[in-house]
Structure 1
Amino acid sequence: MSYNNVKQILHGGDYNPEQWLDCPQILEDDLRLMEEAHINTVTVGIFSWSTLEPQEGHYNFAWLDKVFDEMEKRNGYVILATPSGGRPRWMSQKYEEVNRVDEYGRRHHHGFRHNHCYSSKIYRNKVENINTILAKRYGHRKSLIMWHISNEYSGECFCDQCQENWRKWLQNKYKTLEALNAAWNMVFWSNTITDWNQVVPPSPLGENKVHSMDIDWRRFCSDMTIDFFEHEIKTIKEITPHIPVTTNFMAEGHSTNDFIPLEGIDYAKFAKSLDVVSWDSYPDWHNNFEPVSKTAMKTAFIHDLYYSLKNKPFLIMECTPSCVNWHTLNKSKRPGMHILSSMQQIAHGSDSTLYFQIRRARGNSEKYHGAVIDHDNSNENRVFKEVKKYGEMLLLLKDIKGTKKQSRVAILIDWENLWALKRENAFCRKNKRYFQTLQEHYNYFWENDIPVDLLTKDKDFSQYEIIIAPMLYMIEAETMNKFKDYVKQGGKLVSTYFTGLADSRDVLYIGGWPQQLQELFGIKVLELDNYFDNEYNEIVYQDKVYQTKQYQSIIELHNATSLGEYQKDFYAHTPALTVNAYGNGQAYYMAARMKDDFLHDFYSQIANQYKQKYVICDQEVSVQVRFDDQYNYCFIMNFSEEEKKIEITKKSTDIINHIDIEGKIILNKYETKVLRIKKDTMFNS
């Protein structure tokens, strides 16, 4: 069976029976408890290579056969992983080249996971061999619905093979040394390259101050990751063309109070190789640095990003029903939060809630990571009961699987732009905060229940009425012209400080701010000023005074209209916010980094008409909509610590409680209501 034919939301997660083969009663209990919790899907094989192939060329599939047999008895589903994320020790011992080399030239020993060399021909051959065997053995099983390729790709390698591939990658891109030297501006500091063998990766042992080189290295590492993935799926696609493939994308940043997409891989580019996008969602709920609603906003941003990458439903491949084991402080989810956070996944476009893990491990680093089945092996503990209750709710929501979302607002996101901003030492090393700035602009729309897509510059702009493109530091003529066409046709474009300083090589534009941007925005950017964290300027906008922070562009007004002016410093009374009528649309330029109060008031002026009117609520109650040809499915979620009074203005059906509902109701702390509304009453686009 293909995933595309599954008619219900997937509920389950990572299952590791190989860790319990000496405990047959535990394996029997697993099946009983999974059935009780309405688990319909297991993901198996992720780190099972040493069990599948304990010695080179000697295989053990009996335990995995049994997983398929038992799931098929229960009409369940299997997501089968390729095991390349954790190779067996015998391979690292016999074939040293499969181990990565770090930036200091040190070959690593076997250890941890996902530390293989992407270039190693031996490793690629070994991966192809085990994947071929798995595809031939299990590709025909009716319970197999998807391939989970490896696990949480990340990292880089500096070995000789990777360095040779790095040179080939550059030769393919630049063709000649002259072109490479020009692109990297290598005349600077007498860096001119005269032989391809002189080209080595940026490293603390050598050159690490050539910014264009560093951007290309990031591109190369991302491309090598995708190339390894493509190698993994080649045989699988040939043997099982009807079974889709995915791999689990990530988010990061808990130690810095952030929660943002993984920075090291261009996921927009990677997503093109996937049939289905999936990701591992581990927000830091109940922290001590922000309200629950702020954590929910950051999480919603990433959900919307992973939906937008293919503009279709994604999967949550991992989340936890309780706690994790790797935050600085690992706090349990409070009662109700598991269901609320899981409903948020579905509301923003996921067709699954899959956990890491089904049963807690009994040893090593993940023995205290949350799980459906705890060490007590009981169905009576709080977490299991909440998972079971959620599983019962999902049975009632099966019609939502495959439904869509639609947005009229988009925020532009660009991984290469992130890499360039982080690499740039000028202005301030620590506070570029590109992804975090996108979240700050996203916040107004989340609080006001206006759906947003996260857009890459290669996508079609025409379906959006507002596009927000903050801090687009690297920009090419093609994108500038695309912006001009978009605005000319009636779109509203919002851009900010840091936009348009460099081209895709991270080389600055000669002659100042690009002419295309001057024409579009009706201004010229003259200078970028930078403040310490305890400093601020002020701007006046619509008779209110707002504080700036960190960055202020100094601009010269041409054809644009000034909407707000600076009040301090040597550029007092010069424009800080402008709008330019261009064709049938408007181009806004926000010259300074602004706080939430300004962003709220500004976006309320240009986007207020996109608010949905079906539910009247406050900013801590999130309303998200998915739809099919007949119905809108409205998720109303209370991300606050108290009950909320809300008003539902149209008659609808509460799917979970089997009642019709309209008017004023109470939404309890952490409660979610899922409403079904006939299509002609709302969002009929």
Structure 2
Amino acid sequence: MASKLQPISNKLPVFMHGADYNPDQWLHDPKIFEEDVRMMRLAKCNVMSVGIFAWSALEPEEGRFEFGWLDHVLDTFAENGIYAWLATPTGARPTWMSQKYPEVLRVESNRVRNLHGVRHNHCFTSPVYREKTAIMNQKLAERYSNHPAVLGWHISNELSGECHCDYCQNAFRDWVKAKYKTLDALNLAWWASFWSHTYTDWSQVESPAPHGETAVHGQNLDWRRFVSDQTLDFYKQEVAPLKAANPELPCTTNMMDLFYGLDYRTFAEELDVISWDSYPTWHSLPSDRNVATWFAFNHDLFRSLKKKPFMLMESTPSLTNWQPVSKLKRPGMHRLSSLQAVAHGADTVQYFQWRKSRGSSEKFHGAVVDHVGHEHTRVFQDVAELGETLANLTDVIGTSVPAEAAILFDWDNRWAINDAQGPRNGGLNYENTVVQHYSAFWEMGVPVDIVGSNDDFSSYKLLIVPMAYLLRQETGEKIEQFVKNGGTVSVTYWSGIVDENDLCHLGGFPGPLRTTVGIWSEEIEGLHDHDRNSLVMNSGNALNLDGRFEVHELCDLIHVETAEVLAVYGDDFYAGRPALTVNHLGDGKAYYLAARVSEDTFYQSFYDKLVEEAGVRRTILSALPEGVTAQLRTDGNTDYVFLQNFSGNEVSVALDYDGYVDAESGKAVVGQIEIPVNGASILRRITDYKL
């Protein structure tokens, strides 16, 4: 039975509601800060992230530190019941540092060093940059780690990028030596005999370069792993003096929407709490369903990293200034999109930014306080109203999302897929494929975890394995045992192709999953964008599904060994060959989908059957209108059902239980509930309810 987890901070055991705040940009006008504090209270904002890019204000010259302004900010916060995630300012370095120590600036893959500018244009390996960071963080820790307003540390900002300088080349060689121990092992893992690229000395190892080595896939993959590990090592170095001063203060760094460059699973092991920045492109179509499912997947991914509530560190209260079109949020969308994060496990709603910058590249990015400088705006009122809603939902803090289904998603798999050179260099669409499978569960209102290969699968009833191209032998064995123990797994085409070194499995695909799914994949065909085939359900198949469904992009030509055929291809020279199979193994079942189906209706029908077969829990048993989802959080005694309408229309949802109570008003809700356009309702029920 679920139970409540500890709040992110015992200093503020309620929903954190606030924003990134840059008082260092307004030191010339003290009245601005006075007004900001007044309006923070008015908007029911109780937390701010402060100092994220404030290095120049904190250390205007090397060795000269100015903390008086930050003292005043934090002391005033404490007097007004406002708290701070205090940032380390390492996301952008001051100009004096770049001028005096050019080695801190990054070298690009073409081996040319950057000029000073932008953010994260610094080398995470540079001894000077690490030294200057350690000095700054030590001083911040000594001064503020026991300040009453400080409830945690915000490390840097949106860590990203890579450097190819001599320091990084040496660090990469050290990383490779530690992993492989011998050159023979390295050459075998990288298959370096290809094109006679065998390494005979460690000094020959370099990072991939546009004018150098790019064709050794194992090397490309290890470079990405190294960049991720080296960035994490920099994060750990940042945290060390902060934890030494006060180990009780949590540390986080804000992650990004399905970010490609860093393996966030390894980061999760070091973070005390997960935080991320969410910027959907709402209102590009009449229905926001597709955007909603993409970001729901992200919310579930970040929650799953530590299996506990996360922080929505950044979102926009109105619009962005960097997307192709800066669309305003329609009425209701601010509340709906914020509660979407809460529904999937967020215990904070925070924004970029509190007050708009007057100049430079973010002067037109959305903010709670616009350039007009007062609270009499639509956006401010939206924020204040959400603050009221969150204040009434304190009981949700620390509750969990009880997922009995999981989707396998690994960073090194996506890196390897995108470097595969075949079978469709025009786009294998791994990420979109994973989210297409996820969308079926979103439509059904089935809670889902997003898991990695090293996670424990035993607590789940249903495991989805889409395009697991890079699949380690031990992961395949773990999935096989999951099925033998009674679990249901659904595997797709282009799975079990290579091992952890991007070397092809021998003995037939899908490699370590061949026994589990009971098929052998002989060939896979990449289809042109205009090509189509079809998947035709067999009459009387075990799932009792009917119909003919369009397939595109990839078609796997398979032979059944121990599996049963549920559907076949309808066209081309492989018409009549298996396209969907099921294999019984031990106490469980393994399904294999041999092609990418175009139509969402197939996935909805297919996974509806698998959810029913496996006995996977749904949030509610009622049928949900298209574009509407129901998400669940629970403490084991009380369930909180979040009904969210992204359909673009007013909808009515029939309820499956007569004992629902509106979580905000406390009023009973019986029969059905009307949800307006961009609407969200939060219902409470006891967990032993009877349908």
State the alpha-carbon separation in 2 of the partners of residues 682 and 50 from structure 1.
61
Deviation at 1:517, TM superposition (A): 2.3
Asked if residue 623 in structure 1 is aligned to residue 619 in structure 2, the reply is no
Change (3 A) 1:593 1:515: closer
Paired with 1:614 and 1:2, the residues of 2 have a C-alpha distance of 32
Q: Deviations over 1:598-644 (max 9, x none)?
A: 21221121114533336553132221111114311111111122211
Preserved contact between residue 105 and residue 159 of structure 1 (Cα < 8 Å): yes
Cα deviation for residue 471 of structure 1 reads 0.6
Give TM-score scaled by structure 2 length: 0.95
Tell me the SS of whatever aligns to 2:269.
helix
Match of residue 444 from structure 2: 448
Match of 1:680, SS? coil
More displaced stretch, 172-181 vs 512-521: 512-521
**Is residue 2:263 matched to residue 1:266?**
yes
Given that 2:467 and 2:492 are in contact with CA atoms closer than 8 Å, whether structure 1 keeps it comes out as yes
CA distance in 2 between counterparts of 1:124 and 1:233 reads: 12
Q: Where in structure 2 are the equivalents of 1:119-518 lying within 5 Å?
A: 119-251=125-257, 261-288=258-285, 291-513=287-509, 516-518=512-514
Give yes or no for contact 1:2–1:146 (8 Å, CA) kept in 2. Answer: no
Match of residue 670, structure 1, among 675, 678, 683: 678
Aligned with residue 658 of structure 1, among 642, 666, 680? 666
Change in Cα spacing, 1:616 to 1:62, as seen in structure 2 (3 Å) is same
Distance, in Å, in 2 between the alignment partners of 1:520 and 1:264 is 32
- Tell me which amino acid in the other structure corresponds to 1:552: C
**Deviation of residue 508 (structure 1)?**
1.1
2:557 maps to which of 542, 550, 554 = 554
Aligned to 2:541: none
Q: State whether structure 2 residue 634 is matched by structure 1 residue 638.
A: no
**Partner residue, 1:258:** none
Separation in 1, partners of 2:507, 2:661: 61
**Greater shift after overlay, 81-90 or 635-644?**
635-644
**C-alpha distance in structure 2 between counterparts of 1:682 and 1:219, whole Å:** 50
Q: Which amino acid in 1 is paired with 2:40? A: M
Residues 336, 671 of structure 1: 8 Å contact kept: yes
Report the Cα distance in structure 2 between the residues aligned to 1:646 and 1:598, rounded to whole angstroms.
23
Instruction: Tell me the CA shift for residue 118 of structure 1.
Output: 0.7
Alignment identity in percent?
44
Query: Is the Cα–Cα contact under 8 Å of residues 445 and 620 in structure 2 kept in the other structure?
Result: no
1:370 aligns to what SS in structure 2? coil
Tell me the residue number matched to 2:607: 603
Alignment correspondent of 1:574: 577
What's the CA shift string for 1:307-330, capped at 9, x where partnerless?
A: 000000000110000000100111
Name the CA distance, whole Å, in 2 between partners of 1:279 and 1:96: 31
Q: State the distance in 2 between where 1:127 and 1:516 align.
A: 45
Taking the aligned partners of 1:584 and 1:512, their CA distance within structure 2 comes to 25
* CA distance in 1 between partners of 2:77 and 2:226 (Å): 41
Task: Report the alpha carbon displacement of residue 516 of structure 1 after superposing the two structures with TM.
Answer: 4.2
C-alpha distance in 2 between matches for 1:607 and 1:173: 41
Aligned mates of 1:455, 1:284 — CA distance in 2: 26
Match of residue 587 from structure 1: 590
CA contact (8 A) 1:410 1:452 kept: yes
Partner of 2:689: 681
**Residue type of the alignment partner of 1:173:** K
Cα shift readout 1:220-255 (whole Å, capped 9, x = no counterpart):
11111111111111111111100010000101xxxx
Match of 2:548 in 1: 545
Partner of 1:14: 20
Q: Following TM superposition, by how much is the alpha carbon of 1:512 offset from its aligned partner in structure 2, in angstroms?
A: 2.4
- TM-aligned CA distance change 1:320 to 1:85, over 3 Å: same
Runs of 4 or more consecutive aligned structure 1 residues displaced over 6 Å after TM superposition: none
2:620 touches 2:630 (CA, 8 Å); kept in 1?
A: no
My pick for the range that moved more, 156-165 or 63-72, is: 63-72
Q: Match for residue 109 of structure 1?
A: 115
- The Cα offsets for residues 513-564 of structure 1, whole Å up to 9 and x where unpaired, read as 2664222111111111111111111121144111111101111111110000
The one-letter amino acid of 1:234's match is A
Find the aligned partners of 1:412 and 1:657 in 2 and give their Cα distance. Answer: 39
Deviation larger for 414-423 or 515-524: 515-524
The answer to whether the Cα contact below 8 Å between 1:614 and 1:650 also exists between their aligned partners in 2 is no
Query: Equivalents in 2 of 1:393, 1:665: separation in Å?
Result: 19
1:682–1:415 CA distance, 2 compared to 1 (3 A): farther
The one-letter code of the counterpart of 1:425 is Q
Q: CA RMSD of the aligned region, Å?
A: 1.4
Distance 2:168 2:199 in 1: 19
Query: How many pairs are equivalent?
Result: 673
Match of 2:3 in 1: none
Residue 112 of structure 2 aligns with an amino acid whose one-letter code is R
Question: What is the CA deviation profile of residues 641-666 of structure 1, one whole-angstrom value per residue up to 9, with x for unaligned ones?
Answer: 22111223322221223322211232
Assess if the C-alpha contact under 8 Å between 2:287 and 2:627 holds in 1.
Answer: no
Native 8 Å contact 2:21 2:48 kept in 1? yes
1: CA distance, partners of 2:407 / 2:32 = 48
- Using the size of structure 1 for normalisation, the TM-score is 0.96
Question: What is the CA–CA distance in structure 1 between the aligned matches of 2:322 and 2:174, rounded to whole Å?
Answer: 38
Letter in 2 for 1:625: L
Q: d(CA) in 2 for partners of 1:404 and 1:392?
A: 22
CA contact (8 A) 2:630 2:644 kept: yes
Alignment-mate amino acid for residue 18 of structure 2: G
1:62 and 2:106 equivalent?
A: no
Whether the 8 Å contact between 2:447 and 2:619 is mirrored in structure 1 is no
Whether the 8 Å CA contact 1:2–1:242 is kept in 2: the answer is: no
Aligned to 2:542: none
Distance 2:135 2:588 in 1: 56
* Distance of aligned partners of 1:515 and 1:455 in 2 relative to their CA distance in 1, 3 Å threshold: closer
> Any conservation in 1 of the 2:472–2:512 contact (CA below 8 Å)?
no
| 1:42-64 Cα distance to aligned partner (Å, 9 max, x none) | 10010000000001111111111
Partner of 1:256: none
Work out whether residues 562 and 579 of structure 1, in 8 Å CA contact, stay in contact via their aligned partners in 2. Answer: yes
Letter in 1 for 2:573: F
State the distance in 1 between where 2:316 and 2:511 align: 50
Partners of 1:614 and 1:682 within 8 A in 2: no
The AA in structure 2 aligned to 1:607 is V
Task: Give the Cα separation in 1 of the matches to 2:689 and 2:563.
Answer: 40
Q: Measure the CA separation in 2 of the matches of 1:516 and 1:175.
A: 26
Is residue 529 from structure 1 mapped to residue 525 from structure 2 by the alignment? yes
- Counterparts of 1:671 and 1:513 in 2: how far apart (Å)? 47
Segments of 5+ residues of structure 2 without an aligned counterpart are 1-6, 538-544
